[in-house]
Chains A and B, each alone.
Chain A
């Protein structure tokens, strides 16, 4: 089967963001950017499917600024075959991302689109589900285990209370959760090889999709800061403090 993996360039998960003093957003200048960690997991899964002979081709797609090309290269170094960069400097909301991806799907005709369950910057957790709706495809979010079963996919999902297993007809949308796999690091030879892999450059206009945002930022503020409390000497002191505070 052919697999499309959309990857997003986000602020690195180790960076603690700072809200801009003018409350218009967060400061992204000179901040380390990386591939959304969930997308590393979906790239890894697609590459493993290819290595196992269940996937024939892995196409990496990113929507974002020119630098998103680096994110695509990283995915190609992990084992993706080719890339598509839909270049824009605008803010692209999940609905618009999903609409663009739906157009890519129309052209590429994959059997599976593997996305992250959420991007760790905006934490929307929407894009995959929206894409499934736009295409009228079945979906399995928060995948914990993914198996090909003839023409169908059996997907076990992380849900509140435990695990749930669904069977999906293909083509289908799957979004990945943390425990699906442990992504590899790209080796140096593979990083070199990835430089030669093709990346198609497109613009949102090429797909005739209206990406105008539906949401506008009123302000971005700091959350209330929590002050560090006190260190207690021993268990007995802890218990008496908790009793005094009415916590136990």
Chain B
């Protein structure tokens, strides 16, 4: 048996999500290979070779896969699948974009966002915003799987797999990359952060969000998150949204500030180890999942907390 893992990276560095998917793939069993598709991503391929338990790294280098546009990734991965029983992909926006496209080409149903591997046909995944856990069995011969990173530990880095070049697809394709606007930050990345401070609608403006949430996150060396309401209102960038339809996080410490705790928000953070909630409404649902709840006005409590740390 053999499994292909698709690496998450930005051409410069390998994202930790990849290590977590390797753990899930190892639980599936068989040889685990990692595909690094990018442009000038030689360092990433070398880093992938160090992940424990990896047999070999396939490295596709070319402009067509520089931004991992779906059509090109399909053209690259589908032919490779002749040699594999399963493809394991991180449930990041990259993975969610390409996984189903590969599955449809292989005429199989994708298993989305799995949280456990029971056996080679059976998997666990949350449904209904995490309010139910589905154990699901697939009758398809090949498996296409996206993996929820928070459910698996990152594989170690004591491997020494060889890197083998594969051709990047030539194109042309009907979709082309035009531009990107990436949020630059020195902060830990939200999805993999050990600590997260999130702000909600109660912050009232981007200025207050930046004045209160950011210094607290700095003190805690935490990533910054937000509720959908805060993102919709423009207090924080889109990709800060934590929840069912945003990012799933499970840090050691999650601090929810001025967030009510709607089910869609809880779906994205309730597996955090310790949850702190600061909310002036003692009935707010967030308190039902919080280990430590502080009923207070955030405009007083947050500066005080930042000061006390």
Chain A positions within 8 Å of B, measured between CB atoms, are 11, 13, 16-17, 19, 26, 38, 93-95, 98, 117-118, 120-134, 137-142, 144, 154, 157-169, 172, 177-179, 213-223, 226, 228-232, 234-236, 238-239, 241-242, 245, 247-248
Query: Which residues of chain B in 103-152 are interfacial with respect to chain A, using CB atoms and an 8 Å cutoff?
Result: 103-105, 107-113, 122, 126-140
Compute how far the CA of A229 lies from the CA of B256 in the bound complex, rounded to whole angstroms: 14
Whether the pair B178, A165 counts as a contact (CB closer than 8 A) is yes
Interface of B is mostly: mixed
Chain A residues within an 8 Å CB radius of B294:
231-232, 234-235, 238
Q: In the complex, what residue of chain B is closest to A160 when comparing beta carbons? A: B93
Whether the pair A162, B237 counts as a contact (CB closer than 8 A) is yes
Chain A residues within an 8 Å CB radius of B131:
16-17, 19, 26, 223
Whether the pair B110, A94 counts as a contact (CB closer than 8 A) is yes
Compute how far the CA of A146 lies from the CA of B99 in the bound complex, rounded to whole angstroms: 23
Scoring A125, A166, A241 by chain B CB atoms within 10 A of each residue's CB, the highest score goes to A125
Whether the pair A235, B304 counts as a contact (CB closer than 8 A) is yes
Query: Which residues of chain B in 178-224 are interfacial with respect to chain A, using CB atoms and an 8 Å cutoff?
Result: 178-183, 191, 220
Compute how far the CA of A228 lies from the CA of B275 in the bound complex, rounded to whole angstroms: 10
Pick from B24-32, B68-76, B157-165 the stretch touching chain A: B68-76
A-B contact pairs, 13 of them (CB 8 A): A94-B100, A123-B129, A133-B104, A140-B175, A160-B94, A162-B182, A172-B175, A213-B109, A215-B109, A215-B111, A215-B137, A226-B289, A236-B308
Tell me the minimal C-beta distance from B256 to chain A in angstroms.
Answer: 13
Chain A residues within an 8 Å CB radius of B291:
229-230, 245
Whether the pair A215, B308 counts as a contact (CB closer than 8 A) is no
Known: A16-B131, A160-B191, A217-B136. A239 touches B305 (CB 8 A): yes
Chain A residues within an 8 Å CB radius of B71:
138-139
Whether the pair A139, B175 counts as a contact (CB closer than 8 A) is yes
Whether the pair A241, B181 counts as a contact (CB closer than 8 A) is no
Compute how far the CA of A166 lies from the CA of B97 in the bound complex, rounded to whole angstroms: 13
Q: In the complex, what residue of chain A is closest to B107 when comparing beta carbons? A: A95
Whether the pair B138, A214 counts as a contact (CB closer than 8 A) is yes
- Give me 10 other A-B pairs in contact (C-beta within 8 A), A123-B113, A216-B139 excluded: A11-B128, A95-B110, A137-B174, A139-B70, A139-B71, A159-B180, A161-B183, A178-B228, A236-B308, A241-B292
Q: In the complex, what residue of chain B is closest to A122 when comparing beta carbons? A: B127
Known: A94-B109, A159-B93, A214-B138. A223 touches B178 (CB 8 A): no
Q: How many residues of B contact A (CB 8 A)?
A: 90
Whether the pair B282, A231 counts as a contact (CB closer than 8 A) is yes
Chain B residues within an 8 Å CB radius of A16:
131, 263
Tell me the minimal C-beta distance from B84 to chain A in angstroms.
Answer: 18
Q: Is B2 an interface residue (CB 8 A)?
A: no
Known: A144-B238, A230-B292, A239-B308. A98 touches B104 (CB 8 A): yes
Compute how far the CA of A230 lies from the CA of B275 in the bound complex, rounded to whole angstroms: 11
Contact with A along B14-32 (1 / 0, CB 8 A): 0000000000000000000
Chain B residues within an 8 Å CB radius of A231:
282, 287, 292-295
Scoring B140, B231, B239 by chain A CB atoms within 10 A of each residue's CB, the highest score goes to B239
Tell me the minimal C-beta distance from A24 to chain B in angstroms.
Answer: 11
Within 8 Å by CB of A129, from B100, B177, B301, lies B100
Known: A138-B175, A140-B175, A217-B136. A129 touches B98 (CB 8 A): yes
Tell me the minimal C-beta distance from A184 to chain B in angstroms.
Answer: 16
Whether the pair A126, B99 counts as a contact (CB closer than 8 A) is yes
Whether the pair A133, B105 counts as a contact (CB closer than 8 A) is yes
Whether the pair A166, B98 counts as a contact (CB closer than 8 A) is no
Whether the pair B173, A138 counts as a contact (CB closer than 8 A) is yes
Whether the pair B130, A158 counts as a contact (CB closer than 8 A) is no
Compute how far the CA of A99 lies from the CA of B231 in the bound complex, rounded to whole angstroms: 35
Within 8 Å by CB of A219, from B108, B135, B176, B304, lies B135
Q: Is B245 an interface residue (CB 8 A)?
A: yes
Chain B residues within an 8 Å CB radius of A130:
100-101, 103-104, 110
Whether the pair A221, B135 counts as a contact (CB closer than 8 A) is yes
Compute how far the CA of A123 lies from the CA of B91 in the bound complex, rounded to whole angstroms: 12
Q: Is B232 an interface residue (CB 8 A)?
A: yes
Chain A residues within an 8 Å CB radius of B182:
161-163
Known: A123-B244, A223-B126. A162 touches B183 (CB 8 A): yes
Whether the pair B177, A166 counts as a contact (CB closer than 8 A) is yes
Compute how far the CA of A132 lies from the CA of B293 in the bound complex, rounded to whole angstroms: 46
Tell me the minimal C-beta distance from B208 to chain A in angstroms.
Answer: 18
Whether the pair A214, B70 counts as a contact (CB closer than 8 A) is no
Tell me the minimal C-beta distance from A84 to chain B in angstroms.
Answer: 21
Whether the pair B126, A161 counts as a contact (CB closer than 8 A) is no
Within 8 Å by CB of A218, from B122, B247, B289, B304, lies B122
